[in-house]
Amino acid sequence: MSEALHHDSSAWAEAQPILSVLIPFLRDDPTDLLQRLDAEAAALAGQAELIVLDDGTRDAALTARLSGQIDGMALPVRLISLSANQGRSEGRNRLAQAARGQTFLFLDSDMRPDHLGFLKTWVDLARDARPAVAFGGFSLLQAPQDARFAVHRHMAARSDCIPAAQRAEQPEKYVFTSNLLVRRDVFDTETFDSGFSGWGWEDVEWAMRVSRRFEVVHLDNPATHMGLDTVEALAAKYEQSAPNFARVVARHPDFVSAYPSYRVAKALKAVPGLKALRPLIKAAARAPILPTELRAFALRLYRAALYAEAI
């Protein structure tokens, strides 16, 4: 197991939180997110703690900057710095092990709350309603407008940034660890599968398992996903995610069979020479001369072609 170093804020030792906010990062800088969350400290009255996990960045300057910021924060905060990367699933499992609250809020380091009462909304829900699982959604409200992110913005707006009522129609599908509330006893029953590697699907697969036993609630308490990617970066993530997708298909065919990504992948398996066509599809997604909507379609098709080979 990777060596772990801890750095705590002055409020940490005496805190008795209801909610533990769990923030993993790797080579990102979570200082802006921490500052925004700490702005709610007075309204929370010690009911929330933050636990930040550096999953093997090994950047001494960043660690020093974070430690200094934490020293000045009003919220109870613990920084855990791992000496080696443990991966997305194992990192989140380790965060849960360090938490003291009876409810966890998994929040990605590239998220930004969309309103000042973001954390209080979660604390109140955790204290009063105590749902097993709840997802608050995310938006593009504060996300960068750079042209190089136009394709990702278009895709996210269409498929991810949707209201709670629509998400609730397929509650397990729209569960991401970017803004996810989980009660401790539920997480003790179903942790993230550390057999997933690279990027993608570990959170949805977890939600599939959980939804068979517990209710998954959706509400509109969004945060902005700031980490938009270029087409090249998204394509690389899709390439990593293909084996993970196959793992989900093998475990949960009843859920996955209803997903468009699966149906298209199944159809593409019958296309002759699909592997040779993939670079051409990817090239179309990368071509700035094409309309954004067409490039987004090409990138979705590229993902489906990758998945077709994996399943």
pLDDT tens, the chain, 311 aa long: 567 788 999 999 999 999 999 999 887 889 999 999 999 999 998 999 999 998 777 778 888 899 999 999 999 999 988 877 777 677 888 888 999 999 999 999 999 999 999 999 999 999 999 999 999 999 999 999 999 999 999 999 998 899 999 999 999 889 888 899 999 999 999 888 878 877 888 888 999 999 999 999 999 999 998 989 999 999 999 999 999 999 999 999 999 999 898 999 999 998 999 999 999 999 999 999 999 999 999 999 999 999 999 88
Distances (CA, A) of 193 to 137, 197, 212, 240: 22, 9, 16, 16
**β pairing state of 111-113 and 223-225:** antiparallel
Domain 4-228: give its CATH code. Answer: 3.90.550.10
Residue of 202, 200, 184, 183 whose CA lies nearest to 192: 202
The predicted structure's pLDDT at residue 1: 54
pLDDT in tens, 166-200: 999 999 889 888 899 999 999 999 888 878 877 88
Q: How buried is residue 211: exposed, middle or buried, by Cβ count under 10 Å (0-12/13-18/19+)?
A: buried
The predicted structure's pLDDT at residue 211: 93
Are the C-beta atoms of residues 228 and 139 closer than 8 Å to each other? no
Instruction: Domain ranges for the chain, please list them.
Output: 4-228, 230-311
Residue of 283, 161, 291, 167 whose CA lies nearest to 228: 161
Take residue 31 and report the two structure tokens written for it.
């200082």
